[in-house]
Amino acid sequence: MDKVVASAAEAVADVFSGAQLAVGGFGLVGVPETLIEALRDQGTGDLEVISNNAGANGFGLAKLLETHQISRVIASYVGENKEFARQYLEGELELELTPQGTLAEKLRAGGAGIPAFYTITGSGTQVADGGIPWRYDSEGNVTKTSPAKETKVLDTFGEEQEYVLEHALAPDFALVRAAVGDRHGNLVFHRSARNFNPPAAQAAKITIAEVEKLVEPGEIAPDDVHLPGVFVHRVVALTPEQAAQKPIEKRTLREA
């Protein structure tokens, strides 16, 4: 039952080339920085990453983009990461843009064993009709686009509307970060740092969690557990220095 491993490097050692990887975080909040660094140092490439966004300013998944270890991204937001945008627009990686709520539900469904679900999000747009650019070439020409999705008119609360069929995600691995974890893998997240971490962890075949504070089994009250240890396979205890690493994506200061 003790899921603690000695190092981040050991925890990600079996992440293979071409693996599909879900990574928790929103912006730079709740991002498993230490596990990402270990994966970068390991050199595993051709990764397909599922994440709300892909880091920024040299933090988060930007570390793997800088070393060209990511070949495909399923995300909602390109955002402030100029290298992410450059690689996408110059044909160096493929990007499947997905509405944010849909992305969260695709992961949640994967963890719940639900193969697909209908949602109104994207109905009547290219999300449903297809044609969103997934890949460009070096000349800026679109070489691959999203396919059309199955739709269905359903009667919901007395009104007929068109819904889009979305398929669940069940990645090979998930990397997540928690504020507190015990040796059984039970996790507690701090406020907004919870974000995509629980659904990513629930969806994956193997979930690896880095925790800012490691405690013994029983120290976390059952009612305080945000993610049960049944979804977590490996736990890495961060050093105080690693736990304190919490970059701010955009720092806004007022004049004194």
254 located within any domain:
no
64 located within any domain:
yes
Q: Are 194 and 142 in contact, with CB atoms under 8 Å apart?
A: no
51 located within any domain:
yes
148 located within any domain:
no
Q: Are 216 and 247 in contact, with CB atoms under 8 Å apart?
A: no
The total domain count for the chain is 1
151 located within any domain:
no
130 located within any domain:
no
Higher-confidence residue of 216 and 254: namely 216
pTM for this entry: 0.96
Reported as a single tens digit per residue, the pLDDT across 135-181 is 999 999 999 999 999 999 999 889 999 999 999 999 999 999 999 99
Reported as a single tens digit per residue, the pLDDT across 184-220 is 999 999 999 999 999 999 999 999 999 999 999 999 9
36 located within any domain:
yes
209 located within any domain:
yes
CATH number, domain at 111?
3.40.1080.10
Q: For residue 217, what are the domain limits? A: 8-115+168-243
